Structure 1
Amino acid sequence: MSVSPELNREPSSVLARLRAVLEAEHAALIGGDADAIERLAAEKLAACRALEALLSVGDLTPPLKEELRRLGETNRANGALVGALLQNAEAMLSALGGAAGGSSASVYRGDGQAAASLSTGRPLGKA
């Protein structure tokens, strides 16, 4: 989705759109909706680019600066959620690797590139 020209002129519209995208992103992360997460990433990028364009030509008012600060907090919270979900997925892959008799499981880094295989020293269920 591209940001409409109206958003490029009105900071409060850009911030409102970014707020809506971050809230939808949070719901998609909680719900595990990969398609929505991918779509929202593109929307968030477009809104951030519009915000950068606005900031390059002028200052935000104090209320808009406060909203931008809150949006930063929301974005960091979503990032922390992504980190927790990634750790959970890596732990599950590690456990599955152990359950398969100590074989290793491939995982991906945050940038989508293949990472070193995970391997556990003992199979799942052995003490």
Structure 2
Amino acid sequence: MKEKKDSTFRAHKKLDVWKEAIVLAADIYKVTDDFPKSELYGITSQMRRAAVSVGSNIAEGAARSGKKEFTQFLNVAGGSLSELDTQLEISFKLGYVSNDKRKTLDTKIGNVAQMLAGLIKWAKKSRE
């Protein structure tokens, strides 16, 4: 199959925010490995799905042809990031995550959120 020269396929791999979201998702998988087995279908699953959703929505948005659609998917990614932030706090309150690990992940979540906000701002401005 001949590849298009101007294709948006895999364009997401050039985005720093996508790269950071992937690292964050991997970190969440590692942290949740230590959660109680009784949480496998509870908060463990929720956190993993939210973390994976961030990078996945960035990728899906980057593959779309218009900035408006791209922005919509970035907003969904931001929503998933907020879910993850909440779930991390709950996990800390339940004693599943140490304070040090929570701070580290909180910083990473904040960095991804800041990068997402910047990309959303750029996408909105470039639509005008």
User: What TM-score bracket applies, with the shorter chain setting the length?
Assistant: 0.3 to 0.5
- Which has a greater percent of helix? 2
TM-score by length of 1: 0.44
> Which has the greater radius of gyration?
1
TM-score by length of 2: 0.44
